[in-house]
């Protein structure tokens, strides 16, 4: 693909992918330290870029936490409302990861099992996505090969229930700025560094529980979505007040306007990609 088309795809595909992202990646923020686990790393012939430390707020960074849920060690627990994922490693102890959540990520709850794992998975829009938004998804009906510019990122875990694919995925992202936020599309996304390590640790057959809203409220408590798109516990009044002041001062962009701009860019990108695949450019 010519460089111009690659750049266009990288900037706008994040707005369109089912199990994809929401915002274009940014360069690292000068002056902030990147924790070792989120630095650039070699992954076969590819290099996973370092995560911009501006995205590594307290809820997004992986961290060891005490775990009070009923799930047994070895389980993965997804809370799409608190936007966290727990890998329960031992009794009452888990590694917590920040996640991004799309509409699809809140359309499933209950128990499932990891029955398939893919490195740099292929992605294609579903028939329903093509039917409901043909201008956006129609040009990409043939799908996209795996890679760092693929909406599923570096790895994907595919969840099954009663032997059937749930179409619920836990995967990486081409857009680290989306982690911790709710986006217009997609399933459950982690930083690529996080999904690579979780992928290695979660064997086929791993049990996964996706919490309902009622379970989330019971175990995590009420959450408040900030104008930045992140969530914090309702008890974190300092963060809520700081967010309010920044919004009133005009320091935070309107996320609905940003998403509208990204949608239009994504349509143009999809059309450009179709022309490339057909050899018309």
Give the active site residues: 171, 187
Q: What share of the chain is helix, strand, coil (3-state, %, to 5)?
A: 35, 25, 45
CA distance 135 to 93: 46
The conformational region for residue 173 under phi > 0 = left, psi -120 to 50 = alpha, else beta, is beta
**CA atoms of 91 and 67, how far apart (whole Å):** 8
In degrees to the nearest 10, what's the CA dihedral of 21, 123, 95, 214? 70
DSSP helix/strand/coil, 6: helix
DSSP codes, 121-146 = --B---HHHHHH-HHHHGGGTT-B-S
């Amino acid at each position: 693909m010519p460089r111009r088309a690659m750049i266009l795809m990288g900037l706008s595909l994040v707005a369109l992918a089912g199990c994809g992202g929401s915002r274009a990646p940014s360069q690292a923020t000068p002056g902030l330290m990147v924790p070792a686990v989120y630095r650039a790393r070699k992954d076969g012939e590819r290099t996973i870029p370092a995560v911009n430390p501006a995205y590594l707020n307290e809820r997004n960074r992986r961290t060891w936490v005490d775990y009070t849920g009923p799930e047994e060690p070895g389980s993965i627990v997804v809370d799409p409302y608190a936007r966290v994922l727990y890998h329960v490693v031992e009794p009452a102890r888990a590694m917590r990861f920040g996640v991004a959540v799309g509409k699809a990520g809140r359309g499933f709850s209950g128990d499932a099992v990891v029955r398939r794992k893919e490195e740099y998975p292929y992605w294609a829009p579903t028939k329903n996505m093509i039917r409901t938004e043909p201008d956006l998804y129609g040009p990409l009906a043939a799908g996209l090969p795996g890679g760092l510019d693929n909406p599923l990122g570096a790895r994907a875990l595919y969840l099954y229930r009663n032997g059937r694919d749930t179409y619920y995925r836990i995967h990486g992202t081409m857009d680290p700025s989306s982690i911790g936020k709710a986006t217009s599309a997609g399933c459950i996304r982690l930083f690529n560094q996080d999904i690579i390590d979780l992928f290695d640790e979660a064997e086929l057959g791993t049990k996964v529980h996706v919490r309902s809203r009622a379970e989330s409220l019971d175990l995590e408590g009420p959450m408040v979505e900030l104008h930045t798109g992140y969530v914090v516990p309702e008890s974190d009044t300092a963060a809520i007040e700081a967010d309010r002041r920044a919004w009133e001062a005009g320091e935070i962009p309107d996320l609905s306007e940003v998403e509208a701009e990204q949608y239009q860019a994504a349509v143009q990108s999809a059309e450009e990609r179709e022309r490339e695949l057909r050899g018309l450019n």
